[in-house]
Amino acid sequence: MRILEVGSGHNPHPRSSVLVDKYIEPFEREGPLRVDRPIVIAEAERLPFRDKLFDVAIARQVLEHAEDPFLFVAEMSRVATSCRVETPSPLMETMFRVRAGHRWTVDQIAGEIVVWPISQVAKSHYIGHLIETLYERNAFVYLLVRGRPDIFLTIYEGVEPSVRLGTESELRESIESRMEALTGSPRAKQLAWAATAVRGILRSKWEESRLARWAAGGFQWPVLPAEGSMKATTTSSLRALISAR
């Protein structure tokens, strides 16, 4: 299966086949760009690939940064048969401090990707600072957040996704429904979700270390600029992925 990851940054998914990122330098990410697989430097709103070249296109923690989320998702849908988009949920955006570069908050409603400008999300700097401190220093809070992706993440998976602007009442309902699901959960269930998070984290770290050992052998894929300025060092197999647009 050929998987394209848009906005791969410093932590691409272990199973992604081809990576795309907008910046070589560390901009709005926590570390240097990882180049252990074929990678193209290009904008998500103008992907330099043929239609339906990939089986799946994924974007993890990226859509909320997009300048144009409508074109972002349309391009993912154009180059891949199906799409998977993951972002912080509106509740998580409300609870945590303002993130640099976040322009949108995102939810999935009735099979549609729904976006709101981040300015519509009510935030408290002090509450956000408190929650982030607990998340970083309190193991139970950390594992609870990691173990409840249904509450703290928005995950869309589907074919031909559509995007629209949400209303203020839809945003309020999204936040309140997730808050109710979180506070109404018995402690036993919360501990079970925390245990699930531990297993997921351990598996993710194992897959990352496996790829790191492979990359340590000295092999590194070339970083390709966007279309129209590719260097002579570009591999022929990866060049075939780039469409003449």
Residue range 44-75, pLDDT digits in tens: 999 999 999 999 999 999 999 999 999 999 99
Domains of the chain, residue spans: 3-239
Measure CA 201 to chain center.
16
> 139-147 and 125-137 helices cross at what angle (nearest 10)?
100
In this prediction, residue 239 carries a pLDDT of 52
In this prediction, residue 37 carries a pLDDT of 92
For residues 81 and 175, what is the distance between their CA atoms, to the nearest angstrom?
31
Radius of gyration (C-alpha) of the chain in whole angstroms? 19
For residues 88 and 17, what is the distance between their CA atoms, to the nearest angstrom?
24
For residues 18 and 101, what is the distance between their CA atoms, to the nearest angstrom?
24
In this prediction, residue 238 carries a pLDDT of 52
For residues 222 and 149, what is the distance between their CA atoms, to the nearest angstrom?
34
> 139-147 and 187-215 helices cross at what angle (nearest 10)?
80
For residues 103 and 70, what is the distance between their CA atoms, to the nearest angstrom?
13
In this prediction, residue 230 carries a pLDDT of 35
In this prediction, residue 231 carries a pLDDT of 35
Give the predicted TM-score (pTM) of the model: 0.77
In this prediction, residue 171 carries a pLDDT of 96
In this prediction, residue 211 carries a pLDDT of 52
In this prediction, residue 168 carries a pLDDT of 95
For residues 176 and 170, what is the distance between their CA atoms, to the nearest angstrom?
10
In this prediction, residue 241 carries a pLDDT of 54
In this prediction, residue 235 carries a pLDDT of 43
Instruction: Please list the ranges in the chain whose pLDDT falls under 50.
Output: 214-215, 218-222, 226-237, 242-245
